[in-house]
Amino acid sequence: MNQIDVSQRTLGVNFTAAGEAIIRVWAPKAQKVAVALPDNITLPLEAEDFGYWSVRTYQLEPGDTYQFVLDEEKQLPDPASLSQPEGVHGKSRALQVADFAWTDGSWKNIPLEDYILYELHTGTFTPEGTFAALEEKLDYLLELGVNAIEIMPAAQFPGSRNWGYDGVFPYAVQDSYGGAAGLQHLVDVCHQKGIAVILDVVYNHLGPEGNYLGEYGYYFTDKYNTPWGPALNFDDAWCDGVRQYFAENLLMWFRDFHIDAVRMDAVHAIKDFSPMHILREMKQLVNELMQETGRTHYMIVELDLNDTRFINPLDEQGYGMDAQWIDEFHHALRVTATGENTGYYSDFTGIRHLAKAYQDAYVYDGQYSPHRNKIFGIKAENNPGKQFVVFSQNHDQVGNRMLGERTSTLTSYEMQKLLAAAVIVSPYLPMLWMGEEYSEPHPFLYFVSHTDPELAEAVRKGRKAEFAAFHAEGEAPDPVAEDTFNQSKLQWDLIKQEPHQTMFRWYQNLLKLRKALPALRHLDRQNLEVEILEEHNTLILYRWHENERVICFMNFSKGTQTVVVPNQAKTWQKVLDSADPEWKGSTAAPETIKAGATVSLCPESFLMYVNE
């Protein structure tokens, strides 16, 4: 079996320094493989071991299109295509991605504990929906105070409108966004401005339309099922070719696109009982690449298992993932703020669980989960704060609602300020969802642009059925309609208007304080205490570093609450107050408070003091 070479891609089309094309494909199901080149030239490929086929030729140049011909009849795009200019059913285009003229030689990835993430969808972030248009907004993001953008999946999908999770060419960058060169240029400009780039990658399933991998090889297995159909084959017969395909893909993003980190979609749906889990193998390969290049890359996973094996280091028999998304913080925060208790929210009691999330990261770490009908999770005692990404909303939590409502339309202006603060003062990595920083009212809806009419109709029906289970009133917007996509775009003109401008300044201020105050900046989970005033729906978060102490009062209730000032410091100096008229609040709290005195918390408010 091939040992994976971290220094270069071996699949698809690669060019030597002399301009010779090396064409290679894994197609163990085929008896014969050829490549159809321009000018009606067809070249046969030679069989190698383990189902690989290859040929070398000067008759294919960068920019040319080509297809593989399986068993003299099926003409199909390259599974490792880098470009699909005619869409998912069209020919592949050969590219020389390693030739990009990078200017980021002095770039050093930001330490993970300093990441302030901003998740965005390229197609709806700007009116144009391209990487080039996104570049124009980078100064705005710097002004906000974020230093890492997380781009939803950009692998080629059908049509021009999709969240990205229906990608079918993991190596090809979505043509309508700007393709491979567009993404490389964006990363280069981000690095010039001091912004890290996180790319969302999907290694747990492929989309339904244009998915030709099964024609070539044993990419899927019936051993396991996923919510999207048969699982990708990481541990069944012929799995070596699949493992290599996805491992080389990950290495390509880091090596050839200078991506700083990946966010790996739903890794709990990657089914692998090999002695070496695919994530662990990928981590080892990335470590090898980092040794070779001197650059740093992180692997962040979306994980619904509360299982520290994924994020524990390799030398502790973990998979070595650097961090994980933590939905439970979001769920506990959402229930505390809104009282919502349907679906998976039914597992969360609100403020008590929010306090547990601040202290323990996992809410369920060995308790009985009524929603799952079983004991769930293990404790994450030895995992540092930088291993957990928290948020008050993200693409899923907004877009999986039938009407795609953001927090801005579900809660009051005061509550939005409190939710932002609750995330940003946590001992974890904060992530914002595009538009939340100025209270964008537009929804983020579910949209696709499948070209297969039957599939489009199936998606429509599936979406309706999904919300019948939630007893949601009304109709789900048509995911195939262009208007559904257009409604989901950010409205950039709002930032100049009130109350949006004040909300933007609030976020800016919060992020400045997070960076400036050592007690907030150091993600030490031990230097933290939480006091719960359950009957008042109020929480007091207390964090410290060396001699600095910070106290945060969070009143999630709709009434004024009076609380006693803790005595960890004699005198406390106010640093931020969401109820101050400066932030469109009603009544400012005192500038200084003494231990043992009482302080009044306005309804749905956040108040922060630091010791003198």
- Is 72 one of the annotated binding-site residues? no
Catalytic residue among 78, 135, 265, 437: 265
End-to-end CA distance of the chain: 64
Q: Are strands 92-93 and 117-120 parallel, antiparallel or unpaired?
A: unpaired
Strand partners, 374: 369
| Residue 215, number of CB atoms within 10 A of its CB | 16
What are residue 332's phi and psi, to 5 degrees? -65, -40
The answer to whether the annotation marks 522 as part of a ligand binding site is: no
Grouping H, G, I as helix, E, B as strand and the rest as coil, residue 17 is coil
> Count of CB atoms within 10 A of residue 340's CB?
15
328 is in an annotated binding site: yes
> What is the rounded CA–CA span in Å between residue 363 and residue 13?
47
Do residues 75 and 37 lie in contact, with contact meaning Cβ atoms separated by under 8 Å? no
* CA dist list (Å): 206 to 210, 214, 232, 270, 446: 9, 11, 8, 12, 17
- Annotated binding residue at 46? no
Q: How many CA atoms lie within 13 A of 75 on its CB side?
A: 11
3-state class (DSSP) for residue 87: coil
Pull the structure tokens for residue 385: 């704060």
Q: Out of 188, 302, 437, 604, which one is annotated catalytic?
A: 302
- Tell me: is residue 162 an annotated ligand-binding position: no
Residue 264 marked ligand-binding: yes
DSSP result, 127-180? SS-SHHHHHTTHHHHHHHT--EEEEPP-EE-SSS---STT-SEEEEE-GGGTHH
Burial class for 325, CB neighbours closer than 10 Å (0-12, 13-18, 19+): buried
Place of tokens 């010779």: 20
33 is known to lie in a ligand binding site:
no
DSSP letters along 372-426, please? TTEEE----TTS-GGGEEE-S--HHHHHTSTT---HHHHS-HHHHHHHHHHHHTS
Round to whole Å and give the CA distance between 233 and 223. Answer: 9
267 is in an annotated binding site: yes
- 265 is a catalytic site residue: yes
Burial of 472 (0-12, 13-18, 19+ CB in 10 A): middle
Peptide bond just before 79 cis, omega within 30 deg:
no
**459 annotated ligand-binding residue:** no
Contact predicate 334/345, CB 8 Å: yes
| Residue 197 annotated as part of some ligand binding site | no
Q: Is 265 marked as binding a ligand?
A: yes
Residues 315, 316, 321, 322: is their CA dihedral positive or negative?
A: negative
Is 202 marked as a binding-site residue? no
Check the annotation: does 268 bind a ligand. yes
Residues annotated within a binding site for substrate: 263-268, 327-331, 395-400
Residues annotated as catalytic (active site), given as ranges: 265, 302
Q: Which parts are annotated binding residues?
A: 263-268, 327-331, 395-400
